[in-house]
Structure 1
Amino acid sequence: MSRFTILLAGAIRPTPALRQALAGSRIIAADGGMAHAETLGVVPELWVGDFDSAPAALAARFAAVPRETFARDKDRTDGELAIDAAIARGARTILLVGALGGPRTDHAFMHLILALRYAARGIDMALFDGTEHALPLRLGSQRIDMQPGTDFSLLKFSDLSGLSIAGARWPLDDVALPFESILTQSNQALGPIEITLRQGRAILVFQADPASA
Structure 2
Amino acid sequence: MSRFTLLLGGDLVRTPSLDALISGTRVIAADSGMRHAATLDIVPELWVGDFDSVPQDMIDAYPHVPRRVFPPEKDKTDGELAIAAALEAGATGLTLAGAFGGERPDHMFLHLTQALQLSERGIDARLTSGAQEGLPLALGRRHLFDYPQDMLFSILAFSPLSGLTVEGAKWPLDAVEVAFGSSLTLSNAVDGRLAVTLEKGRALLVAHLLDDGAH
Amino acid at match of 2:38: E
CA deviations 1:113-148 (Å, max 9, x no partner) are: 111111111110001111111111110121111111
1:75 is the counterpart of 2:75:
yes
Cα distance between partner residues in 2 of 1:40 and 1:6? 12
Amino acid at match of 1:81: L
CA deviations 1:94-127 (Å, max 9, x no partner) are: 0001110112211111110111111111110001
Q: Which 10-residue stretch deviates more, 102-111 or 165-174?
A: 102-111
Cα distance between partner residues in 2 of 1:3 and 1:164? 29
CA shift at 1:17, angstroms?
A: 1.9
- Indicate the percent of aligned positions where both proteins have the same amino acid: 51
Cα distance between partner residues in 2 of 1:103 and 1:15? 22
TM-score scaled by structure 1?
0.97
CA shift at 1:191, angstroms?
A: 2.6
CA shift at 1:44, angstroms?
A: 0.2
Q: Is the 8 A contact 1:152 1:188 kept in 2?
A: yes
Structure 1: tracts of 5 or more residues without a match: none
CA shift at 1:166, angstroms?
A: 0.6
Give 2:203's aligned residue: 202
Give 2:29's aligned residue: 29
Give 1:61's aligned residue: 61
Q: Is the 8 A contact 1:147 1:189 kept in 2?
A: yes
Q: Is the 8 A contact 1:158 1:201 kept in 2?
A: yes
Amino acid at match of 2:174: D
Give 1:109's aligned residue: 109
Cα distance between partner residues in 2 of 1:194 and 1:59? 44
CA shift at 1:212, angstroms?
A: 5.4
CA shift at 1:80, angstroms?
A: 0.4
Give 1:186's aligned residue: 187
CA shift at 1:193, angstroms?
A: 0.9
Structure 2: tracts of 5 or more residues without a match: none
